[in-house]
Amino acid sequence: MTDLTTHRRPDISIDQQLALRTAAVRLADEFGGVYGTETVERFLHTSYDQFALASTVPHFLPLLAERFARQRLQALARVEGLHQDGRPVVLFLCVHNAGRSQMALGFFHHLAGDRAVAWSGGSEPGTEVNPAAVAAMAERGIDISTEYPKPWTDEVVRAADVVVTMGCGDACPIFPGTRYENWDLDDPAGRTADQVRPIRDEIERRVRRLLDQLSVPTRH
């Protein structure tokens, strides 16, 4: 395999080098028969670079890069017609991918389970998920503390059947033939958990309505 860890990042630690090599092997195995090693490594490397530019937790960079690369490869396979399972795909976009879109993603996964696919992203990704949003969702028994802010990429947007935007305005990507919805919601940034609850509840209502429109059975 190509050594991803030395390209433009000669200062990467030995532990991170090992973690990236291990991630590359896992991804190559998962996508064997769909994408070759070179494609897998390119997606892993570019995902690593995107997080490394702004990350405050370098120890977790290889893990974040692997998770993001996996999502991007899954999206690319859908776009290229290499993977079609009939499940609808929804993408939630906001500015920092730290509050509204993460809560929407949490409700979507909780309500739809594996009957539909959802991703999220931001035009200017933050460094962590809003703690008030995490606390508000925890009150509903939904854990979004392991999620992380991330950008969107073309293949992820193009793979979506529905793109839900929340405050990213002109920065949100537009692709012909994709269904778009704009949810006008207050930004949870700088608010307490008490203040985030009404936003959370409105997001839940909208996610439930969207799933109903997509004919996806939900948990009650």
Residue 200 a catalytic site member: no
Task: Tell me the angle at which helices 100-112 and 193-213 cross, rounded to the nearest 10 degrees.
Answer: 50
**Complete DSSP assignment for 176-208:** TT-EEEE------TT--HHHHHHHHHHHHHHHH
Catalytic residue among 172, 207, 210, 211: 172
Cα separation of 27 and 20, whole Å? 10
Residue that the structure tokens 């008030």 belong to:
132
Distance CA 97, CA 66 (A): 18
**Catalytic status, residue 159:** no
Active-site position among 137, 168, 185, 210: 168
Is 168 considered catalytic here? Answer: yes
Q: Both ends of the chain: CA-CA distance in Å? A: 47
- Contact by Cβ (8 Å): 139, 110: no
What is the distance between the alpha carbons of residues 113 and 33, in angstroms, rounded to a whole number? 27
Rg, C-alpha atoms of the chain: 18
Q: Which of 94, 105, 142, 210 is catalytic?
A: 94
d(CA 120, CA 157): 10
For 105, phi then psi, to 5°, come to -60, -45
Where in the sequence numbering do the catalytic residues fall?
Answer: 94, 168, 172
